[in-house]
Every structure is written in C-alpha cells, then in structure tokens.
Amino acid sequence: MSKLTLGSYPHLLGFEQLERLLERSSKTGNEGYPPFNIEQTSDFSYRITLAVAGFAEADLSITVEDRQLVIRGRQSDNSEGRVFLHRGIAARQFQRMFVLADGVEVGEAVMENGLLHVDLTRAVPEAVVQTINIRKG
C-alpha cells in the first residue's frame, strides 16, 4: 500500500509546502495539556484560549517559529519547606504548537482569570485576475 501525497493529484500543482505543513502539524505531539479552545471571532480573525490556571505571565512565553505559534509554560516549583498531605496540583511545564497559514499574524495576548487569550488575524485576500496572452506559434 503506497502513501498518497498531494503530488499524486495532477490538478494540485505547487502544494508541496501544504503537505509539509500537514505532516509537521501531525507530529507536534500536543498531548491534552493544557486544554484550549479556538474560536473564529470574525471573518478574518481567530482567538486561541488556553486554560493556564496557576501560571503567571512570567511563567509563559509566546513565540512564532517557522510559521508555528509556540506557547510554552514553565512554573517554578516553590514547594520548598512545605509539607503536602496530598499534591494533586503539580507544577508542570507544557508546550503547545499551532501551525499558522501564510498571512496569519499573531496579535496581542491577554491573561484573564487563568485563561490565556491569543488573538490572530488573517490578511484579507485580494481578488486577482490575470489574463494570459496567447502567442501565435
């Protein structure tokens, strides 16, 4: 059984980069932590919301690396000298990655009630019509 690629479809020309993006997004290894929502806030904007209760703004970093939005969290373990009878809230780190399409830009990030909101906007595409002249041979 051979793997179907976008190159095996004769009408899809120049989509090799899309295939690489799909492959890369399937390998990001995002487990289930932290949980997140993605909502469309308008025709050309989105909001990613991560539940990051227990993290301070200083514990989080947001970067764009090679068309990927990368959100990392690392809590400092300040449990020195404390005795826990039960420890159900662990200080754990995470990394969430989201592949961004061309034209999608990361806007502001806001922390609110244990939720991290990251706003994204997509450029409005221009309608382009190009006429190709036919030369006599």
CATH number for the domain harbouring residue 83: 2.60.40.790
Q: Is residue 127 part of a domain?
A: no
Q: For residue range 46-96, what is the model confidence (pLDDT) as tens digits? A: 999 999 988 999 999 999 998 899 999 998 777 788 888 988 776 689 999
Are residues 48 and 110 both part of a single domain?
yes
- For the chain, the domain total comes to 2
**Coil vs helix vs strand at 22:** helix
Same domain (yes/no): 39, 104: yes
Domain that holds residue 25: 1-30
User: Does residue 89 sit within a domain?
Assistant: yes
Provide the token pair at 56: 């301070």
19 and 38 fall within a common domain: no
Distances in Å between the Cα of 101 and the Cα atoms of 35, 63, 68, 71 are 22, 15, 9, 17
Asked if residue 2 has pLDDT above 60, the reply is: no
- 16: confidence class by pLDDT, cuts 50, 70, 90: confident
Q: What is the mean pLDDT of residues 105-109?
A: 96
- Model confidence at 19, pLDDT cuts 50, 70, 90, reads confident
Indicate whether 74 and 96 sit together in one domain: yes
Residue 133 falls inside a structural domain:
no
- 14/54 same-domain check: no
Does pLDDT of 45 surpass 90? yes
Measured CA to CA, the distance from residue 119 to residue 115 in angstroms comes to 13
37 plus 74 within the same structural domain: yes
